[in-house]
Structure 1
């Protein structure tokens, strides 16, 4: 299927590894001009080297509000427009809530909520002015159902879900679609502690009806479709991709 992404300009955050890298590479293979953003310049360059010349990089720390606010403008300065934004970057500090330092929450909210908000705001202005665009926010199943020892992460991803719905309703008439992916357990660095422990992995897989951890490429096609013009009547949707974990009784 042709996703009609040839020469579409898409900004992907957290694109140096895991889900972000996989999404950036597939978008490039579909013909998009991808701007990959993350903190690790070396890792970004490695991803760009696999992108067939269709991925450029921007080194950015999403805890820096000024830098975040200028990312979308930088993409437009470089390419003349911005057709898609994938807000993928995030952090997930774990810990017992009773003992957690408020500073951990502040950093989590800065990266997981404030940065996507600023990016959506800046990109959205350009999209409205140019006649449309698409935003995909990557949340988590913890944004749908909170998890113990991940209170801050759960709260931040829940905020991303509600932000998605609010922006979708506000911008639908402007031809800007805003949707959300809520992935479960994927084989990325975020699951490293589980993947490296046979006991933890066995217990984690036992909670998933599909009885396995997903590969990053299993989220990518849906992400690309939501960035594509083919999804022009899909907005405000939350797509849970977790092998049935959230839906089981």
Structure 2
């Protein structure tokens, strides 16, 4: 299926590693021109050197700085010539017993995982309306925002908030031909899960909770991002797509 992504301008945050990197590679593989945003310049430049159909443009941004985040939509238009899609992937997930958590950490999680999505979505939404050609936003949330996870109270709360923001904006902006959806990944073999994947006993225990009896490869994430970023999904909005090997389905 031709997803008609060739030449499209796409902005992906948290693109230097993990699922963000997989999303950027998949979109560029479909011919999109991608502004890959993260804090680590070296990783971004390495990503930009990979052979893909489209082109990957590295750009360093601190997602805790609202002014920098708000400017990303304009940067995308400047670097790519246009902006059609935003993939809000950047996020942090510090684990802590909530009774002992420093509320400054809670605030940082909310700033990066919720406020940055809101700020960038507003900037992109204004650009989409100004262009008059619609647009798409894909928010990467988590199954933790659906079920809640012990020791991840701040993260779970932030992802739950991001899910509701997705639905609210989808309802508000549909008349502008702007589609907004969320993807809730479960267990993927990324750098963030190195502690699990590097310990056979912990990995076996984790996998037993997943009906598919395995963790997913990051490359399995990209196709869904591409579909929701494409014009083929123009009547899909406000949805939350769970990709977790059936883990939340059994709850």
TM over 0.5: yes
Name the SS for the 1:15 alignment partner.
coil
CA distance in 2, matches of 1:103, 1:198: 34
Quote the residue 2:22 is aligned against: 22
Tell me by how many angstroms 1:78 deviates: 2.4
| Residue deviations 1:98-157 (CA, integer Å, cap 9, x gap) | 000001101101110111111100011111121200000000000111010000000000
Cα displacement (A) at 1:65: 1.1
- Separation in structure 2 between the aligned mates of residue 240 and residue 74 of structure 1, nearest angstrom: 31
Q: May I ask how many residue pairs the two structures share in their alignment?
A: 249
Aligned mates of 1:33, 1:244 — CA distance in 2: 33
Give, in whole Å, the separation in 2 of the partners of 1:172 and 1:190.
34
Q: Is the 8 A contact 2:35 2:80 kept in 1?
A: no
Using the alignment, how far apart are the partners of 2:60 and 2:170 within structure 1? Answer: 28
Whole-angstrom distance in 2 between the partners of 1:51 and 1:127: 29
Contact conserved, 1:18 with 1:189, CA < 8 A, in 2? yes
Q: In the alignment, does 2:98 pair up with 1:65?
A: no
- Give ranges in structure 2 of 5+ residues lacking alignment: none
SS at match of 1:100: coil
8 Å Cα contact 1:81/1:126 also seen in 2:
no
Instruction: Find the residue that maps to 1:16 and give its secondary structure.
Output: coil
Q: Is the 8 A contact 1:112 1:157 kept in 2?
A: yes
Q: Displacement of 1:76 after TM fit?
A: 1.4
Q: Give the whole-Å Cα distance in 2 for the aligned partners of 1:227 and 1:11.
A: 11
Please say if 1:48 is aligned against 2:45: no
1:178-217 correspondence to structure 2 within 5 Å: 178-217=180-219
Contact preservation (8 Å) 1:28, 1:51: no
Cα-to-partner distance string for 1:75-101 (whole Å, 9 max, x where unaligned): 112233210000011100001010000
C-alpha contact (below 8 Å) 1:10/1:32 kept by paired residues:
yes
Is this contact kept in 1: 2:34–2:80, CA < 8 A? no
Q: TM-score, normalised on structure 1?
A: 0.98
Q: Superposed, which structure 2 residues align to 1:50-199 within 5 Å?
A: 50-52=50-52, 54-130=55-131, 131-199=133-201
The whole-number CA distance in structure 1 between the counterparts of 2:18 and 2:119 is 23
2:250 counterpart SS class: coil
Q: Any gaps of 5 or more consecutive residues in structure 1? A: none
Deviation at 1:51, TM superposition (A): 4.3
Instruction: List per-residue Cα deviations over 1:33-80 (Å, max 9, x = no partner).
Output: 100000000000000100446010110110111111111111112233
Q: Can you list the C-alpha shifts for 1:201-234, whole angstroms capped at 9, x where unaligned?
A: 1111010010000001111101100000110000
If the length of structure 2 is used for normalisation, what is the TM-score? 0.97
3-state SS of the aligned residue for 1:129? Answer: helix
Counterparts of 1:78 and 1:196, CA distance in 2: 39
